Amino acid sequence: MKNKSDVNMTLGQIAKYIGGKIVGDKEMVVHKLVSPEKSEKGTLSVIWDEKELELLSSDALLVAAQSFFNESRQGIIVEKPREAFANLLHLFDKKTSFSYGIHPTAVVSETACISAAAYVGPLCVIGDDVVIGENVILEGQIFIGERSVVEAGTHIEPQVVLYSDVKVGKNVLIHSGAVIGCDGFGIIPSFHPEARPQKIPQIGGVSIKDDVEIGACTTIDRGTLNDTVIGSGTKIDDHVHIAHNAQIGENCIIVAMSGIAGSAEIGEGVIMAARSGVKDHVKVGSRAQIAAFGGAIKDVPSGIIVSGFPARDHKEHFRAQALYLRLPELFARLKALEKKLSGSGEEK
């Protein structure tokens, strides 16, 4: 295991990478990508808010729209600075690299099939009939249960648990502490005073498609019979819970502390903001959005934005909230009107 050495890049090389137009000397060397307030000679900052120009060092380089440049500024002109910023973060990423092989402290079943072009880190435990593809990185202290599959290019950070029968696709990133494939919360309640709730066995698995990202401390439960499914390209934040049998479509964004109950169906490109939730067996249509703290307890049509609890059309919810905030004023006016009417009656 080794650290990547810092690589100095020229302005020309960076411009080619992000598809921008150079202002200044293309041979100028850039050694660091920084925020505007930490800029200095040899650094590069991305600007999309004009107010941040005031924070930029006079000899620093910038990436921005053409209108942000003057005679003294040098850097790279781009049409979409935010997109350029995301690409530059990939370019300047200095994460630790890993060499192929199995660490001597790892415990690996004799029936596991591990690519010679994979890295299995310290104290990993690999169960029976597990398959690990090429260029997979298992950083350390990772448990992978029997019959699970991790396909090529996937990166799993420390202390992740994959229970049995979990299938992870290509180029997936799973952050530290995630637990995937634990039993779903299938319980038959008892209403008899002497009986106890009964657990329903969960014998399905979890299927995670290609290019998914799963945040730290997120939990994805196994299905009762069929797999819980996470569609390709979906990005899941930290501390999210996805219950048994849930079906998550492609390219969804599920933000921190959200919860999806059992057998819910989430369409393609759905966005669930922080602390939002979906009730069991509810369907959320493709391209719909659930605002922060929103709770969908009935089906959500495709392409709309809902908020509140119970979740309803976002504009309708805002109108209701505006009316709610006026209740003290309306109540005072009502009391004044009652008093006035009462006084009029006494005069008669």
Catalytic residue set? 244
d(CA 168, CA 22): 42
Residue 333, phi then psi, degrees to nearest 5: -65, -40
Is 299:284 a contact under the CB 8 Å cutoff? yes
Residue 308 corresponds to which amino acid? G
**Helix (H) or strand (E) run with residue 201 in it:** none
Dihedral class, residue 86 (left if φ above 0, else alpha if ψ from -120 to 50, else beta): alpha
Characterize the bridge pairing of strands 29-30 and 9-10.
antiparallel
Is 65:48 a contact under the CB 8 Å cutoff? yes
Is 296:306 a contact under the CB 8 Å cutoff? yes
Is 148:132 a contact under the CB 8 Å cutoff? no
d(CA 227, CA 340): 67
